[in-house]
Amino acid sequence: MGNFLQQLINGVTLGSIYGLIAIGYTMVFGIIGMVNFAHGDLFMLSAYIALIIYLALTQIIGLTSLPLAFLVVLVAAMILTGLWNWAIERVAYRPLRGSFRLAPLISAIGMSIFLSNFVQVVQGPRNKPTPPLFTDLIRVDIGGYNVTLSYKQIMIVAVTSVLLAAFWWLVQKTPLGRAQRACEQDRKMAALLGVDVNRTISMTFVIGAALAAVAGTLFMVYYGVVNFADGFTPGVKAFTAAVLGGIGSLPGAVIGGLIIGLIETFWSAYFSSDYKDVAAFSILAITLVFMPSGLLGRPEVEKV
């Protein structure tokens, strides 16, 4: 039972990261109906941005306060990654918005390859270790079973929860959120009613990238190493989480991320870790057989 509780904590931590990435997929798909396959590589890029800023703060500027350094890194990574995705949307996606459906998809795949190769050329193909952050551990007794919690696990779950609550408030209670929901329902009608569709879509890309930047920073802290190839596997798993939860549904993206994280963690603990990805994708296939729209997705209604 102790091992089960420990893996449950590990799975929730990993699933929180996947959930943050999955929101970016589901937001873009919900508004413009396009899967941004460059989103995983944007997550990888944000991890490198966070690492570079952290090293600059601690080794060049000499900042010694770890919480302050982490806060600055988090905010700076969100801003810079958001600007990257804003530029990507303007250059690679907006000109193709009115073309046939495969054109934006091909452009997204090309942008994914570009980002991966760009980071490989600039930073090199080797792993980049990060300085140890939040390494202290806490031992907690739960029902007579000892469970180990690290400060970085607590921080990851806390940051994810706060950001998800703030994002829910943004979507539900602000003019931007109302514009996003209007564009999701009918972009042409939203434009006729005075909604700036281009601005709304651009801000959606920026917000999705900012959440991916948080995930990239937390990924860097959690694993202590980054690599130019880190965008592919977490990106695919986050996309799987978005589809599993019901792509287009924000709560579904978070739930899907938690499910994928738990499956991966428990499979690695009780079975061979070589097949953890197979287990996650198998659960996705089984779910879609019986629930084609995902857990919380809505059936697509064709407008005539």
What is 71-126 written as a DSSP string? HHHHHHHHHHHHHHHHHHIIIIIGGGTTS-THHHHHHHHHHHHHHHHHHHHHH-SS
User: Tell me: the pLDDT tens digits for 181-216?
Assistant: 888 888 888 888 888 988 999 999 999 899 999 999
Helix (H) or strand (E) holding 180: helix 175-185
Q: Do the Cβ atoms of 35 and 25 come closer than 8 Å? A: yes
Split at pLDDT 50, 70, 90, the class of 299 is low
The region of weakest confidence among 202-216, 221-235, 278-292 is: 278-292
Q: Among candidates 172, 224, 231, which has minimal Cα distance to 21? A: 231
Q: What is the mean pLDDT of the chain?
A: 86
Split at pLDDT 50, 70, 90, the class of 172 is confident
The reported pLDDT for the residue numbered 243 is 87
The model's pTM is: 0.89
Residues with Cβ within 8 Å of residue 200, at least 6 apart in sequence: 31, 176, 179, 180, 183, 190
Mean pLDDT of 256-279: 86
More confident residue, 300 or 281: 281
Give the domain ranges of the chain. Answer: 2-290
Rounded (5°) CA angle 281-283-286: 110
Mean pLDDT of 136-148: 76
The token duo for 143 is: 């029902």
The reported pLDDT for the residue numbered 275 is 80
Spatial separation of the C-alpha atoms in residues 172 and 180, rounded to whole Å: 10
Spatial separation of the C-alpha atoms in residues 42 and 216, rounded to whole Å: 9
More confident residue, 84 or 293: 84
* pLDDT surpasses 80 at 298: no
Rounded (5°) CA angle 289-293-294: 75
More confident residue, 258 or 139: 258
* pLDDT surpasses 50 at 120: yes
Split at pLDDT 50, 70, 90, the class of 301 is low
Spatial separation of the C-alpha atoms in residues 208 and 203, rounded to whole Å: 8
pLDDT above 90: percentage of residues in the chain: 21
The reported pLDDT for the residue numbered 247 is 80
The reported pLDDT for the residue numbered 300 is 59
The reported pLDDT for the residue numbered 45 is 92
User: Tell me: the pLDDT tens digits for 45-80?
Assistant: 999 999 999 989 888 888 878 888 888 999 999 999
Split at pLDDT 50, 70, 90, the class of 92 is confident
* pLDDT surpasses 50 at 304: no
